[in-house]
Amino acid sequence: MNKVWLIIQREFLIRVTKKSFLITTILVPLIIPVVIGGLIYVMVKESESAKPDTVMVVDESHQFTLDSTKNTKRFHFVSLDMKLEQAKKAYNETKDFALLYVPPFDISNPEGLVIYTQENPSIEKVGDLESILEERVRDLKLQEFKIDKEVLKNLKTKINLKQINLSKTGEEKTSNAGILYGMGFALGILIYIFVLVYGIQIMQGVIDEKTSRVVEIIVSSVKPFQLMLGKIVGIAAVGVVQFLIWIILITFLSTGVLGYFGLKMPQKQMMEEVSKKIKDDEIKQAVQQQQTQSNDKINEVLQNVNEIPFAKIAFVFVFYFLGGYLLYGALFAAVGSAVESIQESQQFQFPITLPLLIGYFGLFMFILRDPHGPVSFWLSVIPFTSPVAMVGRIAFDVPTWQLILSMLMLIGGFIFTTWVAGRIYRVGILMTGTKVNWKVMAKWFMMRE
């Protein structure tokens, strides 16, 4: 046991003292907030610098009053009192966004409106312009039908469905499918990547020992199984340490970055600007109302986030990371012992990671759509897929008996794969120059000690 400890120490230390470990451990958490920060920065800058596009209007119907008081945030309308042909020429001499031509039209069936632009306009902008025009036509219709705008406004009602899970004990829990979906998605993918990355590290380590021939010296001091176990556990420790450093750094840095930009969140800024500009009390009131509404929404989200059992999820995540890693790590070790180069290992890598891949696809196709369906249940209980599946599912309130069953199965699963891998490994590491296929590996497995 003492010797396994020595092996764990060595495997751990040689990896964490490598420059590449230091670089990835520090760079990854730096990159993530930098990317987030960069995106926010660009968004803020854009909204700060965005000026409304000027649209020249030739209104032959004289029904639109697109004058400057009716300007929106995105468009600045300039009425031209001239013929279309002249306007086109005038427009071409400017750098304005567009020229809008409104012929005399029938309110019930407005046709013949044309927009001339110098460059291809984005669909979004055209859409915005269309909706402004539609609104204007609607106002005209309201006038015609003698309907008061205010009455209509009062008719419009917005409903936000609050989601509550009613548990059997009668306890009420707010839930938010969106947040849970996002969490399940992110955690499932994280597990998948972690298991794969660290599993390949095990394989690489075994191949190095085998090709450098140091392995025979080591196994004259310890049992092959001890060497394999020491390597797997040592690399797991590297993974856990790296993960913890990431969590700490990312939390710290992201808080810092968001804190800096938080005061200048684009939405908030937009509302401030709007309320500054708008003098009309009524509209101001409406905006305020809207603001409180959106505050409600944020509060609701925050409340939902608070109700997610983070401690439980973190525990389950670490458990399934270690369990999945041990289960697949042993298989990677067995493959490493059988081959003599990474290239040679390719043919075995795919079949052993296939169940993991199934779990990964199952996450999208079943678990996130129907977390409590039968396929989701089986995917999250079978040990080969459960690391990805259960972690993706855990945010959706998995029944305790299912969680315990899945955990026990996973423990049983990695004991089984470690046993199988150990039998292949002890023979494989001393075999060189053999062409290895599944049959040969099966033979090694059956071989007596």
Partner 1 sequence: MEALLVTDVSKRYADHTALDKVSLSIPEKTIFGLLGPNGAGKTTLIRIVNQIINRDEGEVLIFGEKLKPAHIEQIGYLPEERGLYKKMKVGDQLLYLAQLKGLSRKEALIRIKIWLEKFEIKDWWNKKVEDLSKGMAQKIQFISTVLHEPKLIILDEPFSGFDPVNAQLITEKILELRDNGSTIVFSTHRMETVESLCDHIALINKSKKILEGAKKQVKEQYRSNTFLVEHRGNHFSLPTDKYELKKQSVLEDDLYESTIQAKSGIKGNQLIRELVDVTEVFSFQEQLPSMADIFISLVRGEGDEALKKHLHEN
Contacts with partner 1 by CB under 8 A lie at 3, 6-7, 10, 14, 208-209, 212-214, 216-223, 430, 432, 443, 447-449
Which candidate, 58, 115, 68, 114, places its Cα nearest to that of 90?
Answer: 58
Q: Which lies closer to partner 1 via its Cβ, residue 220 or residue 400? A: 220
Distance (Å, whole) CA 335 – CA 360? 22
Nearer to partner 1, 215 or 381 (CB): 215
* Among candidate residues 322, 336, 345, the one with its CA nearest the CA of residue 413: 322
405 vs 440 by CB, closer to partner 1: 440
* Closest approach of partner 1 to the CB of residue 447, in Å: 8
Q: How far apart are CA 360 and CA 293, in angstroms?
A: 38
Taking the C-alpha atoms of residue 407 and residue 384, their distance in angstroms, rounded to an integer, is 12
The full 3-state SS of 38-107, as one line of letters, equals HHHHHHHHHHHHCCCEEEEEEECCCCCCCCHHHCCCCEEEEECCCCHHHHHHHHHHCCCCEEEEECCCEC
Find the shortest distance in angstroms from Cβ 189 to partner 1. Answer: 32
Closest CB to partner 1 among 7 and 330? Answer: 7
d(CA 443, CA 223): 20
Q: Count other C-beta atoms under 10 Å from residue 36's C-beta.
A: 16
- Nearest CB to partner 1, comparing residues 371 and 422: 422
Q: Report which DSSP code applies to 109.
A: B
* C-alpha span between 74 and 72 (Å, rounded): 5
Phi-psi region of 146 (alpha: psi -120 to 50; beta: other; left: phi over 0): left
Closer of 90 and 219 to partner 1 (Cβ): 219
Q: In this complex, which beta carbon is closest to partner 1, that of residue 321 or of residue 425?
A: 425
304: closest CA among 178, 170, 185?
A: 178
Burial code (b: 16+ CB inside 10 Å, e: under 16) for 235-268 equals bbbbbbebbeebeebbeebeeebeeebeeeeeee
Distance between CA atoms of residues 233 and 226, nearest Å? 10
Q: Closer to partner 1 by CB, 22 or 42: give it.
A: 22
Contacts of 398 (CB under 8 A, 6+ apart): 371, 380, 390
Instruction: Tell me the closest approach of the beta carbon of residue 239 to partner 1, in angstroms.
Output: 20
Residue (57 or 235) nearer to partner 1, CB: 235
386, 409 Cβ separation under 8 angstroms: yes
Rounded least distance, CB 395 to partner 1, Å: 41
Q: Of 266, 245, 381, 262, whose CA–CA distance to 323 is shortest?
A: 381
Q: How many residues are there in the chain?
A: 449
Query: How far is it, in rounded angstroms, from Cα 376 to Cα 361?
Result: 11
CA distance 236 to 425: 19
Residue 119 is classified by DSSP as S
Kindly tell me which of 83 and 213 has the beta carbon lying closer to partner 1.
213
Q: Whose Cβ is closer to partner 1: residue 98's or residue 232's?
A: 232
